[in-house]
Amino acid sequence: MNTGRIAITGMGAICALGNDVDALTKSLVEGTRGIKPLEHLDLGFPELHFGEVALSNAELVQELKALLGEEFALPLSRTALLALFAALSATREALDENNTVVISASTVGGMDLSERLFADWKAGEMTQARYAAEHPVGSHTSFVADAIGCKAMHTTISTACSSSANAMILGAQLLRTGRAKRVLAGGSDALCKFTIEGFKALSAMDTTGVTKPFSNERNGMNLGEAAAYLVMEREADALEAGRKPLAFFAGGANRNDAHHQTATSPEGNGPYLAMRDALEIAGLKPDEVDHINAHGTGTDNNDITELAAMERLFRKVPQYTTTKALTGHTLAAAGALEAVISIICMREGIVPVGHATSAAITGHTAMPVAQTIRRPLRNVLSNSFGFGGNDTAIILMGS
Amino acid sequence: MQRGSSFASMEAMRILSTTIYRNGRFSVDGKELARSAGDLDHDLTKAWTAMEVELPRFVRMDRSSKLVSIAAAPFFAADGALSKYPKDRIGMVIMGTHGSMDTDQRYLDQLEAENHASPGLFVYTLPNIAMGELSIQHGLHGSGLCLLSDAPDIPQLHDACDILLHDHDMEAVICGWSNIFAGSAEATFMVVTAGKEGNWDNDELERIFNEHG
Amino acid sequence: MSTDSITTLRQDLKAQIISHLNLEGRTVESIADDMPLFDEGLGLDSIDVLELIVLMDKHYGVRIADPKQGREVFQSVATMADHIQANR
């Protein structure tokens, strides 16, 4: 039974480029860059640059109280606060709570809160022990489900940087197989010491300022934070309810690189398989791809292996860019955030520049776009590759 | 042609083999392979030794990866349930409550105590890293899903396996519950395939996955 | 530096590598001075390089700024000891 296309009928996002989709759109169109030293979060690291959301936790709480009312028990974790903010924005119109499934993703979960309370907990001072309930990665999903009045299934995916892309794939599958009528899919990750120290220890951070992906000068990534959610439903249901699709989720694939926990194989096997199979599922040939939103973290290993995979799959590599040079690497939220960005790009007819390089990585030919290009886009292939070799590619199509 | 455009629940699902690790006891399809009653690290080592697999990397893994490696090991034996399936058609869905919390704690302890982060520990502070270890060990390129849940959610596992088998083109799925918390570990793993003679029984599986004996 | 202290340094390094990298079951005796630490020898990988960089800094005050330089320095216990002596 053919269930038709999977439509995206709502989206919400908060990141370094803006607190909602309108602000994000404006930033992308105007070429605003969101990476700088921390201004709101008191985490230290003055020498590093980040894609920080321009709201403090107190400000997020204020905004959410206005939206949800005083009686709603808000979480303390920034991951959960960001998630609520973006999810409410995505579901502005009334949702069918009984039939909306929530699939969220995170790697940080409540760690931003736990690390602040950790010292007390270890010293045996358990006065704030109840906040330990916010620690598990899945707890933020419960807050989102409660806030939007969801009574259907909600679940959490955690597969590192491919998490929210996987959430969208699972959402599409549940819709296609009739197990859900509507899905809210996305993810959230907040900046915290735990993560920053970890990536520093892996020598993965850019120490020169802003990341320079896909160039010979690349030195590492900038971490970012964000939350992004998309409402997905079968096209026929959307049209029947008078909801116009913003875009379509044409398909996605997840494949394992099976090489190393943090480094991709030199031939880019996982990325290649994910992109190849995503295209096949979407019914697209490689030369029909208009634009690639690359994973492009700016690390030594990712960019060269992602490029190798693209050059294997495409006779002529399509235009590609990495928006991580604008928002930072938002970890579990990246898949969903970059899906939102891809939809904005199709809507506005732009391919934003990430980092303009004058030369391709030595030994390769394809370069990312060097300046913002205005052109109609029919589709975008978006990559999200996670630690543990968990590689995902999804395809968005214009409406 | 678009794959996966039909309702997926037409075919039944068949469980080929089940392994259970609980309270230091490891068994496959009801047959005990190892039993130990020391601390968790000791017990995991005992169970792994019983697998007789040569893998220098095992001792370097975190507990979560060790548990998953043990739970899946019998499936990859010469006559194991997965021995005849192509490596790029074996999918995974692993579910647990605490994710990488055991390692998160060690990482934070070290960070506090020594004021620098251990890159080796940090790598393991993700729930899906155990799936990565399994993929590297056996060269598996299939599709993998890592889900978080307060308790084994059998209907969700059913749906996830169904989707992997019918929409993601996997021929077999390693479907498991794996959880480590406060020095104790439990895992229930299955090999699931599609087929005309299904034997997936939600009630039976609720019992198997939630047994604490 | 005397031969004795070179030997001690190398033995210390071996013990530290075993404990720092959690190489259960490995003994100091089983690591030859010029045994390759990566690939066929001890089987260490790129993340282990980063751990060894931390070890060098913490125990010997020798900093390695660029991880790429690490591969050369950490080829064997002998090259590690040489680097420490040259830079301490």
For residue C15, is pLDDT > 50? yes
Instruction: Spell out the CATH class of A252-398.
Output: alpha beta
The whole-angstrom separation of Cα A83 and Cα A75 is: 10
Measuring CA to CA, how many Å separate B133 from each of A238, A261, A323, C22? 41, 7, 30, 17
The whole-angstrom separation of Cα A231 and Cα A7 is: 8
How would residue C35 be classed by pLDDT, with cut points 50, 70 and 90? very high
Residues of B in contact with A174 (CB under 8 A): 159, 163
Count of other CB atoms within 10 angstroms of residue B22: 15
Mutate to test the interface with A, among C50, C51, C55 (most CBs of A within 10 A): C50
Domain covering C3-87: architecture: Orthogonal Bundle (1.10)
- Give the three-class secondary structure for B23: coil
Residue C88's identity, in one-letter code, is R
The whole-angstrom separation of Cα A226 and Cα A191 is: 9
Residues of B in contact with A168 (CB under 8 A): none
The whole-angstrom separation of Cα B61 and Cα B102 is: 12
For residue A104, is pLDDT > 80? yes
Mutate to test the interface with B, among A114, A170, A179, A261 (most CBs of B within 10 A): A261
The whole-angstrom separation of Cα A91 and Cα A230 is: 9
Q: Do C48 and B120 touch (CB under 8 A)?
A: yes
How would residue A98 be classed by pLDDT, with cut points 50, 70 and 90? low
Among residues A2, A330, A394, which one has the least CA distance to residue A176? A2
Residue with tokens 């993700």: B126
Smallest Cβ distance to B139: which of A122, A258, A260?
A258
Residue A298's identity, in one-letter code, is G
pLDDT recorded at residue B7: 41
Higher-pLDDT residue of B145 and A117 is B145
Smallest Cβ distance to B148: which of A115, A138, A261?
A138
Q: How many CB pairs under 8 A join A and C?
A: 12
Residues of B in contact with C58 (CB under 8 A): 114, 116
Residues of B in contact with C47 (CB under 8 A): 119-120, 123
How large is the average pLDDT for residues C69-86? 91
pLDDT recorded at residue A97: 65
Domain boundaries, chain B: 12-210
The whole-angstrom separation of Cα C16 and Cα C39 is: 19
Smallest Cβ distance to C22: which of B59, B119, B123?
B59
Residues of B in contact with A201 (CB under 8 A): 116-119, 122
Smallest Cβ distance to B5: which of A2, A160, A253?
A2
State whether residue C4 sits within 8 Å of chain A by CB.
no
- Report pLDDT digits (tens) over A120-162: 777 777 666 677 889 889 999 999 999 998 888 999 999 999 9
Q: What are phi and psi of B31, to 5 degrees?
A: -95, 125
Of A55-59, A190-194, B106-110, minimum mean pLDDT range: B106-110
- Report pLDDT digits (tens) over A39-78: 999 999 999 999 999 999 999 999 999 999 999 999 999 9
Among residues A30, A21, A1, A3, which one has the least CA distance to residue A227? A21
How would residue B139 be classed by pLDDT, with cut points 50, 70 and 90? very high
Orientation angle between helical segments B40-51 and B63-72, nearest 10 degrees: 30
- Report pLDDT digits (tens) over A238-264: 999 899 999 999 999 999 999 999 999
Mutate to test the interface with C, among B44, B59, B60, B133 (most CBs of C within 10 A): B60
How large is the average pLDDT for residues C26-41? 89
- Report pLDDT digits (tens) over A288-315: 999 999 999 999 999 999 999 999 999 9
How close C6 gets to chain B, by Cα (Å)? 28
List the single residue in A with minimal CA-CA distance to B134. Answer: A258
Q: Do C50 and A263 touch (CB under 8 A)?
A: no
What share of chain A in percent tops pLDDT 70?
Answer: 96
Count of other CB atoms within 10 angstroms of residue C54: 18
Domain A6-247 annotated CATH 3.30.160.20:
no
Residues of C in contact with B114 (CB under 8 A): 58
Residues of C in contact with A260 (CB under 8 A): 45-46
List the single residue in A with minimal CA-CA distance to C50. Answer: A202
For residue A270, is pLDDT > 80? yes
How large is the average pLDDT for residues C14-42? 89
What share of chain A in percent tops pLDDT 90?
Answer: 89
List the single residue in A with minimal CA-CA distance to B107. Answer: A194
Say what the ipTM of the complex is. 0.88
- Report pLDDT digits (tens) over B6-49: 344 556 899 999 999 999 999 999 999 999 998 999 999 999 99
Residue with tokens 């190489």: C23
The whole-angstrom separation of Cα C61 and Cα C83 is: 12
Q: Do B120 and C54 touch (CB under 8 A)?
A: no
How would residue C39 be classed by pLDDT, with cut points 50, 70 and 90? confident
The whole-angstrom separation of Cα A304 and Cα A264 is: 9
pLDDT recorded at residue B3: 32
Q: Contact partners of C by the rule of 3+ C-beta pairs under 8 A? A: A, B
- A331 contacts A161 by C-beta, under 8 angstroms: yes
How large is the average pLDDT for residues A330-349? 98
| Sign of the alpha-carbon dihedral angle for A195, A197, A198, A199 | positive
State whether residue B60 sits within 8 Å of chain C by CB.
yes
Mutate to test the interface with B, among C20, C24, C42 (most CBs of B within 10 A): C24
Give the predicted TM-score (pTM) of the model.
0.93
Q: Do B116 and C22 touch (CB under 8 A)?
A: no
How large is the average pLDDT for residues C8-33? 91
Q: Which helix (H) or strand (E) holds B35?
A: strand B31-35
Domain with CATH 3.40.47.10 in chain A: 6-247, 252-398
| Sign of the alpha-carbon dihedral angle for A282, A287, A291, A296 | positive
pLDDT recorded at residue C1: 61
pLDDT recorded at residue B1: 25
pLDDT recorded at residue B194: 92
How large is the average pLDDT for residues A182-206? 96
Q: Which helix (H) or strand (E) holds B91?
A: strand B90-96
- Report pLDDT digits (tens) over A154-186: 999 999 999 999 999 999 999 999 889 999 999
Smallest Cβ distance to A137: which of B4, B148, B163?
B148
Smallest Cβ distance to C45: which of A202, A203, A260?
A260
The average confidence (pLDDT) of chain B is: 91
Mutate to test the interface with C, among A197, A202, A203 (most CBs of C within 10 A): A203
Q: Do B129 and A273 touch (CB under 8 A)?
A: no
Spacing of C-alpha B204 from chain mean position: 19
How large is the average pLDDT for residues B143-166? 94
- Give the three-class secondary structure for A234: strand
Orientation angle between helical segments A111-122 and A193-201, nearest 10 degrees: 100
C84 token code pair: 């420490």
How would residue A212 be classed by pLDDT, with cut points 50, 70 and 90? very high
How large is the average pLDDT for residues C2-9? 82
For residue B212, is pLDDT > 70? no
Of A201-210, B125-134, C35-44, minimum mean pLDDT range: C35-44
Domain B12-210 annotated CATH 3.40.50.1820:
no
- Report pLDDT digits (tens) over A20-38: 999 999 999 999 999 999 9
Among residues A396, A391, A318, which one has the least CA distance to residue A11? A396
Count of other CB atoms within 10 angstroms of residue C4: 8
